[in-house]
Chains A and B, each alone.
Chain A
Amino acid sequence: AQKITQTQPGMFVQEKEAVTLDCTYDTSDPSYGLFWYKQPSSGEMIFLIYQGSYDQQNATEGRYSLNFQKARKSANLVISASQLGDSAMYFCAMREGIRAGGSYIPTFGRGTSLIVHP
């Protein structure tokens, strides 16, 4: 079973409008964190935003906000005022548990391709 589910393979949005990218997750660990990354066509993964499971407030970073609904196990990314440069793949990721050496492994969803139209 997938730990991270992104149900939208592709999304389209008009420039300057807001868009929500969906992410649901599955974990039994009470301590976990959720990340969103952006991958432009150039290939590099760019960290956007993080939400910890114990954080009381939804995370925000500039035009990015994370709509964290713990009971529903969802962590949707909201991009306000979309720009042409927001066109990219977006990946939701989760870290949970502790592995060897005190590390943890980020697990990624399959991604959503966002296209912003002028």
Chain B
Amino acid sequence: DVKVTQSSRYLVKRTGEKVFLECVQDMDHENMFWYRQDPGLGLRLIYFSYDVKMKEKGDIPEGYSVSREKKERFSLILESASTNQTSMYLCASRVTGDPRMNTEAFFGQGTRLTVV
């Protein structure tokens, strides 16, 4: 079974802190994603990475950065946490594969971050 593991289920951080959310996958997937989930807004893409050291901005990258130094690990960084970044963060990974075929994304269990 594919496993995507996020380092924390719950985090509480103070405004202005630098926050690291870690995600590790064990299936050698090329693609990794960070989404943010808020009630009524669904999942919104923050960043994705298609290979080591390669990244692209998603729909809401402001206030975030990412790091992918190794294929299995994709980190989301909140440079200076703010209360409006309180949310559920979901990491996902996917093999590149044939785009005409079903290659669904596999998700971690989510990190619920509260910034106070």
* B35 contacts A108, C-beta separation under 8 Å: yes
The residues of B with any CB-CB pair to A shorter than 8 Å are: 9, 30-31, 33, 35, 40-45, 48, 50-51, 54, 56, 58, 88, 90, 92, 94, 96, 99-102, 104-110, 112
Interface centre among B31, B43, B107 (most CB of A within 10 A): B43
* B107 contacts A111, C-beta separation under 8 Å: no
Please judge, given known A-B contacts A44-B109, A105-B45, whether A31 and B88 are in contact too, CB under 8 Å: no
* A110 contacts B109, C-beta separation under 8 Å: no
- A1 at the binding interface (Cβ < 8 Å): no
The residues of A with any CB-CB pair to B shorter than 8 Å are: 4, 6, 9, 31, 33, 35, 37, 42-45, 47, 50, 52, 54, 91, 93, 95, 98-111
> 6 tightest A-B contacts by CB?
A101-B50, A45-B107, A110-B42, A50-B102, A108-B43, A43-B110
Chain B residues lying within 8 Å of A35, measured Cβ to Cβ, are: 104
* B30 contacts A43, C-beta separation under 8 Å: no
Assembly CA distance A111 to B43 (angstroms): 9
Chain B residues lying within 8 Å of A104, measured Cβ to Cβ, are: 99
Assembly CA distance A33 to B58 (angstroms): 19
* A50 contacts B104, C-beta separation under 8 Å: yes
Assembly CA distance A49 to B100 (angstroms): 15
- Given A100-B56, A103-B48, 13 more A-B residue pairs with CB atoms under 8 Å apart are A4-B42, A44-B108, A91-B43, A93-B43, A99-B50, A101-B30, A101-B50, A101-B51, A101-B96, A102-B99, A103-B31, A106-B94, A106-B105
* B50 contacts A103, C-beta separation under 8 Å: yes
Chain A residues lying within 8 Å of B99, measured Cβ to Cβ, are: 31, 33, 95, 98, 102, 104
| Residue from A44, A103, A111 in contact with B30 in the complex, judged by beta carbons closer than 8 Å | A103
Please judge, given known A-B contacts A100-B56, A105-B58, whether A52 and B110 are in contact too, CB under 8 Å: no
| Residue from A6, A45, A99, A101 in contact with B90 in the complex, judged by beta carbons closer than 8 Å | A45
Chain A residues lying within 8 Å of B54, measured Cβ to Cβ, are: 100-101
* A108 contacts B42, C-beta separation under 8 Å: yes
**Nearest Cβ distance between residue A12 and chain B, in whole angstroms?**
18
